């Protein structure tokens, strides 16, 4: 696939990800020489209706967003496949950096100051997407979807971006009020095991659901443990047991971010950010 030109304009340089019928590619725009990301969805008999819905929703979402720390929509095209059928391609801007997951895979662990910087930036991005009309819920917040733009030695000193809007859901005020814990229901659970709160596993999501994913991702960054490796007290991650060398105030903040009970979790990103900024 490297070297192949798609859409008569985009030369593939590298495959970044692959799932059944879906590819994420790094490509070069032959018109501008700029790097871009192509997300490809194969339209065939094996494609699920939900896959097409989520792909179309990602296109619609990126078309509405204008934020330095999220991918920018550049275009969309259809193409014929060599054997049969066709594929849809979403073109989005390339954001410089490596994912938090990539650093964790290399054995990197993050300290409290770095975790707070990641939290601050991602919460600001969540405020932006949650406060839109209609609201946008990311629903798949995890280390592989957090991009760190700093140097390898100081990864959190550059831009910290939220990527992969392939699981988003739109929500209007009629579905739930800004401070409500009521939720909408979807036909299937969307997200990644370990980073989804109980309500999302039950096919319900609210703004606070994204906060849970961020809280788990930060706990993973601090400890190097996967969610499955962490001890639990019922549904609650035993944050205080695994997070070392952090202030009690920050540990308590993480506990509230990862509360399985919606009534005990931070309701909105603005509230979580205000509580974070109060920690010295």
What DSSP assignment string belongs to 133-176? Answer: SSEEE----SGGGEEE-S-SSSGGGS-EEE---TT-EEE-TTTS
With a cut of 60, say whether residue 132 has pLDDT above it: yes
With a cut of 90, say whether residue 253 has pLDDT above it: yes
Indicate the residue among 75, 93, 111 that finishes a domain: 93
- Per the document, the length of the chain is 280
pLDDT at res. 183: 47
pLDDT at res. 101: 97
* C-alpha gyration radius of the chain: 19
Task: Return the residue matching tokens 């229901």.
Answer: 185
pLDDT band, residue 42 (cuts 50/70/90): confident
Neighbouring-strand partners of residue 25? 15, 38
In this structure, the answer to whether residues 104 and 89 fall within a common structural domain is no
Q: What is the pLDDT of residues 266-280, one digit of tens each?
A: 999 999 999 999 997
In this structure, the answer to whether residues 20 and 157 fall within a common structural domain is no
pLDDT at res. 47: 65
pTM of structure: 0.90
Which CATH number fits the domain that encloses residue 51?
3.30.200.20
Q: Residue 25: what are its φ and ψ, rounded to 5°?
A: -125, 145
How many domains, the chain? 2
In this structure, the answer to whether residues 79 and 210 fall within a common structural domain is no
Indicate the residue among 64, 93, 122 that finishes a domain: 93
Domain assignment of residue 147, given as a range: 98-277
């Amino acid at each position: 696939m490297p070297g192949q030109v798609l859409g008569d304009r985009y030369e593939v340089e590298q495959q970044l990800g692959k799932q059944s019928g879906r590819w994420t590619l790094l490509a070069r725009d032959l018109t501008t020489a700029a790097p871009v990301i192509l997300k490809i969805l194969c339209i065939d008999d094996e494609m699920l209706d939900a896959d097409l819905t989520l792909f179309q929703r990602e296109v619609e979402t990126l078309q509405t967003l204008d934020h330095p720390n999220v991918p920018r929509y550049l275009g969309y095209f259809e193409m014929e496949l060599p054997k049969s059928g066709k594929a849809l391609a979403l073109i989005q801007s390339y954001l410089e950096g490596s994912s938090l997951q990539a650093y964790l895979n290399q054995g990197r662990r993050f300290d409290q100051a770095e975790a707070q910087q990641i939290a601050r930036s991602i919460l600001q991005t969540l405020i932006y997407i949650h406060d839109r009309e209609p609201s946008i819920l990311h629903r798949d917040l995890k280390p592989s979807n957090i991009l760190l733009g700093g140097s390898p030695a100081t990864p959190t000193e550059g831009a910290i971006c939220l990527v992969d809007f392939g699981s988003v859901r739109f929500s209007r005020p009629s579905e739930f009020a800004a401070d409500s814990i009521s939720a909408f229901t979807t036909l299937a659970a969307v997200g990644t095991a370990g980073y989804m709160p109980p309500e999302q596993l039950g096919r319900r999501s609210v703004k606070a659901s994204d906060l849970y994913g961020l809280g788990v991702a930060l706990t993973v960054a601090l400890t190097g443990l996967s969610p499955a490796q962490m001890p639990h007290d019922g549904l609650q991650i035993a944050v205080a047991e695994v997070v070392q060398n952090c202030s009690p105030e920050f540990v308590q903040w993480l506990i509230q971010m990862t509360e399985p009970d919606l009534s005990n979790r931070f309701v909105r990103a603005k509230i979580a950010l205000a509580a974070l900024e109060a920690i010295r």
